[in-house]
Amino acid sequence: MSAAAERISLAPAAVKRRRTGGFWHRAARHVMRDKVALVCAIVLLAIALSAIFAPWIAPADPYKTSMLRCLLPPLSPKYLLGTDELGRDMLTRLLYGGRVSLSMGIAPVILATIVGGALGVTAGYFGRHINMAIMRVVNVFYAFPSVLLAVAMAGVLGSGIVNSLISLTLVFIPPIARVAESVTTQVRNQDYVEAARATGASAGRIIVQHVLANVMGPIVTYASSLVSIAIIISSGLSFLGLGAAPPLADWGLMLNTLRQAIYVAPVNAVLPGVMIFAASVSFNLLSDSLRSAMDVRA
């Protein structure tokens, strides 16, 4: 081999550089390596997809009642998971129920992340009086147990899906705001924020370009752990008659109506509970994995 060829083969390879990727890349890689989290992600994906495509894949009409074939046990002909107390197909209703329960788990958390995140970042970045004004109010709400607060809010606002969405959002704003505030307080004291201020940049610009990117990770990770709680509380509200109204298919509501049949058809009565359990545990374990992915600083 000539000397020239040797030189060519050495130079570009040395310059080429591996991109180590950002925060979300690393988090995703960690979750992929975590077997439990992977299973949870697959379960959630299955529930989500079946809920989204329920109208196309469901074997029956979720609202079609029949007194002749109520409370059929699972594995009955034509009714894979049996029927409920009004003779509606359980499988169909469970698929449809995922639409309400998953949205009620995710939507309030997203809304609360936006509102609570904004409040917390504002309080943390500006500090002093602004911090005190915001965090005092937040802490008053934080002092109530979340279930009690949700029930009280839903009770005041009245029943219905929108109202339970609002009350759940209000329940989750305080904890998210508190996390956002403490992370932002740490970040705003970093030298790079000081350096950004030294360039003469406005507070808004510094928050958007320097603070948000560095606080979103912890906030989103924390918020993801609230989804499972949101699913349970929203099911609880429906169970109490403060959330979804019949005949809408919702896991919490189904649990309530089938409760009376628990001695007649125990398996049917338990099925919605199994769905609530599976969804919330999956969310919980997945967010745990996300959290441990965060701690690993590569």
Q: Which residue, 152 or 195, has its beta carbon nearer to other proteins?
A: 195
Q: Shortest distance, CB of residue 184 to other proteins, whole angstroms?
A: 14
Mask for 23-62, x = binds other proteins (CB under 8 A): x---------------------------------------
Mask for 145-184, x = binds other proteins (CB under 8 A): ----------------------------------------
Q: Shortest distance, CB of residue 21 to other proteins, whole angstroms?
A: 10
Tokens standing for residue 127 = 């500090």
Q: Which residue, 21 or 246, has its beta carbon nearer to other proteins?
A: 21
Please tell me whether residue 15 binds other proteins under the rule CB under 8 A.
yes
Cα–Cα distances in Å, from 195 out to 119, 123, 184, 188, 235?
24, 20, 16, 11, 48
Q: Which residue, 190 or 260, has its beta carbon nearer to other proteins?
A: 190
Q: Alpha-carbon distance 256 to 273, whole Å?
A: 10
Q: Shortest distance, CB of residue 297 to other proteins, whole angstroms?
A: 9
Q: Shortest distance, CB of residue 182 to other proteins, whole angstroms?
A: 18
Q: Shortest distance, CB of residue 211 to other proteins, whole angstroms?
A: 9
Q: Which stretch binds other proteins (CB under 8 A): 114-122, 189-197, 243-251, 274-282?
A: 189-197
Q: Alpha-carbon distance 32 to 194, whole Å?
A: 37
Q: Shortest distance, CB of residue 18 to other proteins, whole angstroms?
A: 9
Please tell me whether residue 22 binds other proteins under the rule CB under 8 A.
yes
Residues 201-220 that bind other proteins (CB under 8 A): 201-202, 205, 209-210, 213-214
Alpha-carbon torsion (159, 107, 275, 48), positive or negative: positive
Please tell me whether residue 194 binds other proteins under the rule CB under 8 A.
yes
How many residues bind other proteins (CB under 8 A)? The answer is 22
Q: Shortest distance, CB of residue 39 to other proteins, whole angstroms?
A: 31
What is the three-state SS of the chain? CCHHHHHHHHHHHHHCCCCCCCHHHHHHHHHHHCHHHHHHHHHHHHHHHHHHCHHHHCCCCCCCCCHHHCCCCCCECCECCCECCCCCEHHHHHHHHHHHHHHHHHHHHHHHHHHHHHHHHHHHHHCHHHHHHHHHHHHHHHCCCHHHHHHHHHHHHCCCHHHHHHHHHHHHHHHHHHHHHHHHHHHHCCHHHHHHHHCCCCHHHHHHHHHHHHHHHHHHHHHHHHHHHHHHHHHHHHHCCCCCCCCCCCHHHHHHHHHCCCCCCHHHHHHHHHHHHHHHHHHHHHHHHHHHHHHCCC
Q: Which residue, 29 or 69, has its beta carbon nearer to other proteins?
A: 29
Q: Shortest distance, CB of residue 138 to other proteins, whole angstroms?
A: 18
Report the interface residues with other proteins, using CB under 8 A.
15, 17, 20, 22-23, 190-192, 194-202, 205, 209-210, 213-214
